[in-house]
Chain A
Amino acid sequence: MTRKIAISIPDDVAARLDREPNISAFITESLRIRMAAENVRNAMAAAGFELTDEGRARAANDLDTLNASVSPELRSQAVALRARIKGGRP
């Protein structure tokens, strides 16, 4: 089932949507990610975890720093390693 809805959005958001060939699919995917994230937070809270904004900011920063530290040399090594794993021989 689908529903057609009319919404008002800021100009910058509208400009971003203008670049999408399928706006409905784009909005649906974005909202599903947000819904899934809400489900995770609710499930974690129900299980007794006390997640804080500071803790999440720290985790986000750690992940961003790690991903930004990947050098071209490491990328080359990773490509070779992936081929070795796929080849199935040590």
Chain B
Amino acid sequence: MRGIGVVLDTAALLAYANGSSSIGEYVAVLADRGEAVLIPATCLASAYRDVGDDGLDLLDLIASLDHSMVAPLERDHCAILGGWARALGLDTAQAAIEAAAHAIVPLMTSKRDLVTQFLPKEWPIIDVRYE
């Protein structure tokens, strides 16, 4: 694996699980490049909480791909995570921290305005439209 190509937050996972081909295309491009897709565990759990029955298998699939990495919560991140989670929620806070903790990794999220209260404004973000 040649590094992490993108971090997916809950909205990105839900968009994918509802059939968004564009998310699948990013995932495929990163596989072509040998780069990993990082899925924060709290985002995956939140997506399983919110997805309809039709999307369960798709979440199983994306989490099991060879180039997907499901990132657990880490003790060292908990203090910052708790602070950021007050505004972002635990899931998006973990996604933002994972993007920052692995050098400058693009983040796929629907919460650009909130996330850039914690990450620098110029952080590479791919906007997802999913409510």
Contact = CB atoms under 8 A, between A and B. Distances in A.
Contacts of A82: 100-101, 103
Contacts of A48: 19
Contacts of B123: 74
B106 A40 contact: no
A84 B80 contact: yes
Contacts of A40: 27-28, 31, 65-67
A58 B22 CA distance: 9
Interface in B55-93: 57-58, 61, 65-67, 76-80, 83-84
B80 A51 contact: no
Interface residues of B, number: 43
A3 interface: no
B114 interface: no
Contact of A59 (B25, B77, B103): B25
Contacts of A73: 122
Interface of A: 33, 36-37, 39-41, 43-44, 47-52, 55-56, 58-60, 62-63, 66-67, 69-71, 73-75, 77-78, 81-82, 84-86, 88-90
Given A55-B25, A56-B32, A89-B80, 8 more contacts: A33-B2, A33-B31, A39-B31, A48-B19, A59-B22, A82-B103, A85-B101, A86-B76
